[in-house]
Amino acid sequence: MRKTSFTKVVLMLSLFCLLIWVCLITPIQVMAEQNIQETYGQPVGVDLDCENTEPEIVSEDETSGLNSVLNAISPYSIIGSDNRTTINSRHATPYSAICYLVISWPNGASGTATGFVVGYKTIATAGHCVYDKACGGWASSIKIYYYANGNSTQKSMYASSLASTQGYVYSDDSNYDYGVITTSSEIGKSTKMYKMLERDWISSDLTSTITIAGYRANVLYSMYGSIASAGTYKIYTQIDTEPGQSGCPYYRKRNGYYEAIGIHNGSSGSSQNVGIKIRKSIYDYYNNYASFSSVNSSYYMK
């Protein structure tokens, strides 16, 4: 009897200690995760010294050259058959706010990618489109090709500054693979802009039909479909993409406006494409640059 009682006491003490440990450790783990999210999501960036940051019309010769540029930034995935369509009316809503990016890196390499306008002077893209450690770090220059809304003449300008996140730049964490290109001229008043989802996701967001549209060699491709799943940081879909579409928007129409809810940044093998999930913290990150409250709603595409 005494042995049984002693065993019960030891068991109860063990359970009590385990409960204390759980109560102490769980909040510490939660705080640590919150700390990582706050630190990793902090912006870091550089100003660029480019000769011409003002808009200029793209010549026919330059256009011909752009159409042959294929050293696009990966990753990507065509899942089964390629079901994308080519967009010819690139100056029309909602495509005019999608930009073709030609990137020069410090090591002499070059690449192409996509961005989309979300503020008067703010273009959203993937972090790896502005920063690549293997290529020498921050891009040396990014030339932005775009269309004014309703005008079929292609124009260009150079980026004036670049930014990404501490999590991506210092730790190569793909959960924080998003970035910003800033222009000296108000490109958003010309192209018009996408709204960005300003809150955390709710269950109905998972049932959204979304479109992914981005550039490959100065040709704009688009495809729509459903969201396969979404985690804390990322969206997974079976919508086709190709190299060069890195940084392009995952968008839908909500409350009358075209709204970006994701930023294309990769693929998981040959079965799914992956994008950064725009949510409250991502909205706040871009708000630091775009000052959304100051944007006249007439410049948002609808």
Got the DSSP string for 39-82?
HHTSEEEEE---S--S-EEPPHHHHHHHTT---B-------SS-
Predicted pLDDT at 80: 75
Per-residue pLDDT of the chain (302 residues; tens, 9 = 90+): 444 555 655 556 555 555 554 454 444 343 344 454 568 889 898 999 876 667 888 876 677 666 655 566 655 667 777 889 999 999 999 999 999 999 999 999 999 999 999 999 999 999 999 999 999 999 999 999 999 999 999 999 999 999 999 999 999 999 999 999 999 999 999 999 999 999 999 999 999 999 999 999 889 999 999 999 999 999 999 998 988 999 999 999 999 999 999 999 988 766 889 999 999 999 999 999 999 999 999 999 99
| Structural domain contains residue 266 | yes
| Structural domain contains residue 33 | no
Q: Structurally, how many domains does the chain consist of?
A: 1
Within 10 A of 222 (CB to CB), how many other CB atoms are there? 19
CATH number at residue 226: 2.40.10.10
| Structural domain contains residue 286 | yes
Cβ 69 vs Cβ 231: under 8 Å: no
Between vectors from CA 213 to CA 148 and to CA 65, what angle results, nearest 5°? 65
- Pairing state between β 257-268 and 195-196: parallel
Which residue range(s) make up the domain with 209? 44-302
| Structural domain contains residue 267 | yes
Predicted pLDDT at 54: 74
| Structural domain contains residue 219 | yes
**pTM of the model as a whole:** 0.85
| Structural domain contains residue 234 | yes
Placement of tokens 């309703």 in the chain: 150
| Structural domain contains residue 10 | no
Question: Distance between CA 57 and CA 70 in Å, rounded?
Answer: 22
- Give me the phi and psi of 274, to 5 degrees please: -130, 140
Give SS3 for 174: helix
Question: Distance between CA 225 and CA 218 in Å, rounded?
Answer: 23
| Structural domain contains residue 294 | yes
Does the N-terminal peptide bond of residue 55 adopt cis geometry, omega within 30 degrees of 0?
A: no
Cβ 273 vs Cβ 238: under 8 Å: yes
